[in-house]
């Protein structure tokens, strides 16, 4: 069984659908129950199996209750931490409330999900975790102060879990995408560049040397590989999916 946090939309939804297409039973954990249920219904129409579970991962008590219920239904072979929020801003214009909100969702949410799942994986003899980081974890991106901080923390947690549970047969890796074309991007462009959406979209796409944004399905296929038996020799690794951002940018 594969548990996907943030599986109701965007990258998480693409991962849930992709894994279901390849035979995994899916458990979607998300704060948006209606959208999560629509994803479950979509997976069912494709012939897959999925259930939706409402949870605020930033809330430790809620996460414990939700994951106890999930673990009572079946073992968790795969955990994909895709739940997260973005934030645009630099040091001087990021409020404490904004900083804490991004931290609670992106860092504490990932922490809570792993803390509830890893002991069960240890007890069952192993498992696989993939955490969604970002190129922001290792590069200085303009106006991404708080967001970059959280993704750096997610990457560090990935390395720690991979090291600490290596002998318990738990693999833990991260994926660091560049910009991915999700509904968030469309909303950001519409809100901030009214009347100039096409120009803004082209500029954002051009930030990747390959000349476009990634598609959520491309991230999902990398996650599928990392969670497969074919990747059994891979742990404690961060995979940039960045259209040449790290190696080819001038």
- Phi and psi at 56, nearest 5°, equal -95, 100
Q: Are 81 and 129 in contact (CB under 8 A)?
A: yes
Question: What does 157-222 look like in DSSP terms, one character per residue?
Answer: HHHHHHHHTGGGTEEEEEEEES-B--HHHHHHHHHHSTT-HHHHHHHHHTTSTTSSPBPHHHHHHH
Let me know if 239 is a catalytic residue.
Answer: no
Single out the residue of 133, 138, 149 nearest to residue 246, CA to CA. 138
> Domain 2-178+215-241 classified CATH 3.10.690.10?
no
Q: What is the pLDDT of residue 105?
A: 97
Cβ neighbour number for residue 104 with a 10 Å cutoff:
18
Each residue of 148-158: pLDDT tens digit?
A: 999 999 999 99
Domain extents in the chain: 2-178+215-241, 182-213
* pLDDT recorded at residue 250: 63
pLDDT in tens, 56-78: 999 999 999 999 999 998 999 99
- pLDDT of 121 higher than 90: yes
First vs last Cα of the chain: how many Å apart? 43
Distance between CA atoms of residues 246 and 139, nearest Å: 8
Name the β-bridge partners of 177: 241
**Residue pair 109/83 in contact by the 8 Å Cβ criterion:** yes
Mean pLDDT along residues 86-112: 97
Q: What angle do CA 31, 34, 37 make, to 5 degrees?
A: 100
User: pLDDT averaged over the chain?
Assistant: 96
Show the DSSP H helices in 46-179 as ranges. Answer: 60-73, 96-103, 109-124, 145-164
State phi, psi for 109 to the nearest 5 degrees. -60, -45
Distances, alpha carbon 21 to alpha carbons 9, 45, 46, 146, 162, in Å: 17, 11, 7, 35, 27
pLDDT at 23: 97
Q: Collapsing DSSP states into helix, strand and coil, what is residue 135?
A: helix
Q: Is it the case that residue 90 has pLDDT exceeding 70?
A: yes
pLDDT value at residue 220: 98
Question: Which among 147, 165, 193, 239 is annotated as catalytic?
Answer: 147
């Amino acid at each position: 069984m594969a548990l996907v946090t943030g599986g109701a939309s965007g990258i998480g939804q693409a991962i849930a659908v992709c894994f279901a297409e390849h035979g995994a039973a899916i458990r979607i954990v998300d704060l948006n129950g209606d959208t999560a249920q629509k994803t479950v219904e979509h997976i069912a129409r494709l012939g897959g199996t999925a259930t939706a579970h409402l949870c605020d991962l930033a809330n430790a008590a809620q996460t414990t209750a939700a994951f106890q219920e999930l673990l009572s239904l079946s073992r968790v072979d795969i955990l994909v931490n895709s739940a997260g929020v973005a934030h645009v801003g630099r040091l001087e214009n990021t409020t404490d409330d904004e900083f804490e909100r991004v931290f609670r969702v992106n860092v504490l949410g990932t922490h809570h999900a792993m803390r509830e799942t890893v002991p069960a994986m240890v007890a069952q003899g192993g498992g696989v975790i993939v955490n969604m980081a970002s190129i922001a974890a290792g590069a200085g991106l303009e106006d991404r102060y708080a967001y970059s901080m959280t993704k750096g923390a997610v990457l560090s947690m990935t390395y720690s879990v991979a090291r600490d549970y290596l002998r318990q047969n738990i693999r833990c890796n991260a994926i660091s995408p560049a910009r991915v074309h999700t509904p968030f991007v469309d909303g950001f462009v519409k809100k901030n560049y009214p009347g100039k959406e096409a120009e803004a979209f082209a500029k954002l796409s051009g930030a990747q040397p390959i000349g476009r944004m990634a598609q959520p399905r491309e991230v999902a296929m990398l996650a599928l590989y990392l969670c497969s038996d074919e990747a059994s020799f891979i742990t404690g690794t961060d995979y940039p999916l960045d259209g040449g951002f790290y190696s080819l940018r001038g």
